[in-house]
Amino acid sequence: MADKGRPLMRRKGRKEEASAEMTKDVQTEGEAPPAEANGDSQVEAMELPPFEIIQGDRIDPFAFKFQFKNVEYSSGRNKTFLCFLLAEGNTADGLVKGYLEDEHTGPHAEEAFFMQCLLNYDPALRYTVTWYVSSSPCSACAAKIAEVLKARTNVKLSIFAARLFEWEEAEIQAGLKALHAAGCKLRVMKPLDFSYTWETFVENEEEPLNLWEDCKENYEYYQEKLADILQ
């Protein structure tokens, strides 16, 4: 896909506007316009303000189709959806799955994961974590996650992102590089990843996901940009 001078996706936006954009996007499957994103040193040392984090097992299908769509212009997508798989130990017997959704009133979904889903962290155990996120981490989140991974070498994290958040910004690129250097596996979501996430984390009523026309093209675009950043 040719580079059209992709506009930066902005984190903040009004939830009323996002809701309206979501309804329009799902009904018409059209493109939209600014966007969203997301926010561990030693987790124990963090002082967190009150925050709103929604946690559950299954995402509303309309929210998934809007928030995870890997469009070039991502208007109204001003929050982060984080679907996770968490395995403790060397087997998948204790696999935990779910999702987090942030409202940007405090910590972002990435930060909340370590506070809520790894609340009983045990340094003697091995943790294998996979995230499917609506957009890649912001610079602050990336730096905190990198610090956690360096401090907790028994945590192995893979992040698969539908879109790259503000990838043209130097601080965002530095954050992604820091994550990569800390051992985090980073990749853009492929078309098959969207179908898997739909089947695993969405209230889909056993309906298959009809991928949007430019899904593969947009994946290739973002993956090329990510490869350039991490090289």
What proportion of the chain, given as a percentage, has pLDDT over 70? 71
Sign of CA dihedral 27, 31, 34, 40: positive
In this predicted model, what pLDDT tens digit does every residue of 69-90 receive, in sequence order?
998 766 677 788 999 999 988 6
Q: What's the one-letter identity of residue 41?
A: S
| Set 21, 36, 88, 110: catalytic member | 110
Q: Considering the entire predicted model, what is its pTM?
A: 0.75
pLDDT of 30 above 80:
no
Strand order in the sheet with 81-88: 53-56, 96-102, 81-88, 127-133, 155-161, 185-188
For residue 26, pLDDT over 80 is answered with: no
Q: Is residue 159 part of a domain?
A: yes
Does a structural domain hold residue 160?
Answer: yes
Number of domains forming the structure of the chain: 1
Confidence at residue 220, expressed as pLDDT on a 0 to 100 scale: 96
User: Which sign does the torsion angle of CA 220, 195, 132, 158 carry?
Assistant: negative
Is 120 domain-assigned? yes
What pLDDT, on a 0 to 100 scale, did the predictor assign at position 74?
A: 63
Most confident of 42-56, 88-102, 170-184: 170-184
Active site residue 110: yes
Tell me, yes or no, whether 138 lies in a domain: yes
Residue 202 DSSP class: B
Q: Domain residues for 117?
A: 29-230
CATH number of the domain that residue 60 is part of: 3.40.140.10
Domain presence at residue 165: yes
CB 200 within 8 A of CB 83: yes
Look at the alpha carbons of 166, 181, 184, 139 in this order and tell me if their dihedral is positive or negative. negative
- Within a domain: residue 23? no
Q: Evaluate whether residue 41 is within a structural domain.
A: yes
In a domain, 17, yes or no: no
User: Can you tell me the distance from the alpha carbon of 22 to that of 65, in angstroms, rounded to the nearest whole number?
Assistant: 9
Residue type, 99: Y
Q: Return the bridge partners of 7, or none.
A: none
